[in-house]
Every structure is written in structure tokens, then in C-alpha cells.
Chain A
Amino acid sequence: QKEVEQNSGPLSVPEGAIASLNCTYSDRGSQSFFWYRQYSGKSPELIMSIYSNGDKEDGRFTAQLNKASQYVSLLIRDSQPSDSATYLCAVKETSGSRLTFGEGTQLTVNP
């Protein structure tokens, strides 16, 4: 059973739309959550971290966390073609400090 699951994608949105990326996790005690963006052929880049329930905004990105539902999401407002990438959700395990990654969601923003 996977510990971190993401919408399988690929996800395609028009330029200017809101892209919504979702992630669920199985470890109820998890406290730390991360979103990485990975362009094709490049390494993952940390774009958001969230530790408390609610929303955290950074520019066009908003991370949302609901620990009761074991759900974390990333919203990208005013999507741009440059946002086209694979987005990886990562969750820190309760025991220890490893990150567990989801399989990623490939996002394409169409001009």
C-alpha cells in the first residue's frame, strides 16, 4: 500500500487557470509536508513546505493542509506554461526523518 498518493495525472490546464494538485497520506502522525517541482531532465526544486492546518500562500502558490483528512494540496493560480512540470508531494515520516515521496503529478499548462 502506498503511503503517499497523488492524483495520477497528467493534468492539463489552460494558461491563466487554477491548477489543483492533490496528495493524501497514510501516516496519521505526519507533521511536515512539502511540494517539489521537477522539470523534465532536472532535479526537484522545493517550492512549498507546510506544517500547520490551513492555507499557506507564496506568490501564485497556495498549499493547503488538512491533517484530519490526511490531505495536502497545492494550488497554482494564474498558471503559466513555465509551470509545466511534475509536482512531487513529500511527507516526513513520523518515526525518523525520511521523506516519503508520492509518484508525482505531471502538469501541462497550455498557452
Chain B
Amino acid sequence: DTEVTQTPKHLVMGMTNKKSLKCEQHMGHRAMYWYKQKAKKPPELMFVYSYEKLSINESVPSRFSPECPNSSLLNLHLHALQPEDSALYLCASSQAFTVYEQYFGPGTRLTVT
């Protein structure tokens, strides 16, 4: 079972709102990732958690705040976003950070108004 789940599927938020994206996997994977994907572009890495610790932050603005409450869950907290942050936000997981086969969740389509 290579399933990663994400909620919500769609999210519309104003620039002053605070919202959170959630990701869950039950494959026993110890590395989890957040990517951002704009239309007709490849995914861009935002954050990597390895064994529940933040390993990589790709200089993402502080209005995006990741959290890894346990080995199965990954959250992305959003605050004061800009319209240009509208994108598909993808969560992925792999067995470990050094195991490179990453499996993506279905994504959250975010629109910032």
C-alpha cells in the first residue's frame, strides 16, 4: 500500500486567514516532504522531515510553517499568504531520506484571494 492522503482537497483562503494542510501516511515511512507545484511546472521542494525532524527548508517564506507531530503526520500551516502562493501543494513520503523513491499524495489545490 503506497498511499499518502492529504486534506483538504481544495482550499480557498483570504490573505489574512490562517489555515492548515494535513498529510498522513501509514507505510512506516520516516521521511516526509512538502512540495509546491504551479501549473505546467515540476514540483518544487519546500521542506523535508526526516525522523520527525526538519532536515531541509528550501528558504521558504515564514508564512509557510511546517510541523511533524509524529512519524505518520505532516502539517503545513499557512498565514498571510499572497495570491502568488496559489498552487497545488503536494505531500510525499519515502522509507527514509536516503531512500529515494518518493510517493506523492493527491495534493491540496490552494487558491489565495
Assess the B45–A43 pair: CB atoms within 8 A: no
What is the chain B residue whose CB lies nearest that of A45? B104
CA of A88 to CA of B35 in the docked complex: distance in angstroms? 15
Q: Which of B12-20, B79-87, B94-102 faces chain A? A: B94-102
Assess the B100–A99 pair: CB atoms within 8 A: yes
What is the chain B residue whose CB lies nearest that of A51? B100
Per-position 1/0 for B92-113, Cβ under 8 A of A? 0000011011111111000000
CA of A25 to CA of B102 in the docked complex: distance in angstroms? 19
- Which residues of A sit under 8 angstroms from B40, Cβ to Cβ? 104
What is the CB-to-nearest-CB distance from A85 to chain B, in angstroms, rounded to a whole number? 13
CA of A36 to CA of B42 in the docked complex: distance in angstroms? 11
Given contacts A97-B97, A97-B98, contact A43 B104 (CB under 8 A): yes
Assess the A88–B42 pair: CB atoms within 8 A: yes
Per-position 1/0 for B34-49, Cβ under 8 A of A? 0000001111010010
CA of A42 to CA of B100 in the docked complex: distance in angstroms? 21
Interface of B is mostly: loop
**Residue A17 at the chain B interface, CB threshold 8 Å:** no
**Residue A44 at the chain B interface, CB threshold 8 Å:** yes
B residues apposed to A, CB below 8 Å: 2, 40-43, 45, 48, 56, 88, 90, 97-98, 100-107
In the complex, the 7 A-B pairs of residues with the closest C-beta atoms, listed nearest first: A101-B42, A43-B104, A43-B107, A32-B100, A92-B100, A44-B104, A97-B97
Q: Offer 16 A-B interface pairs, CB within 8 angstroms, sorted by A.
A: A32-B100, A34-B101, A34-B102, A44-B43, A44-B104, A45-B104, A46-B101, A49-B101, A88-B42, A88-B43, A92-B100, A97-B48, A98-B48, A99-B100, A103-B41, A104-B40
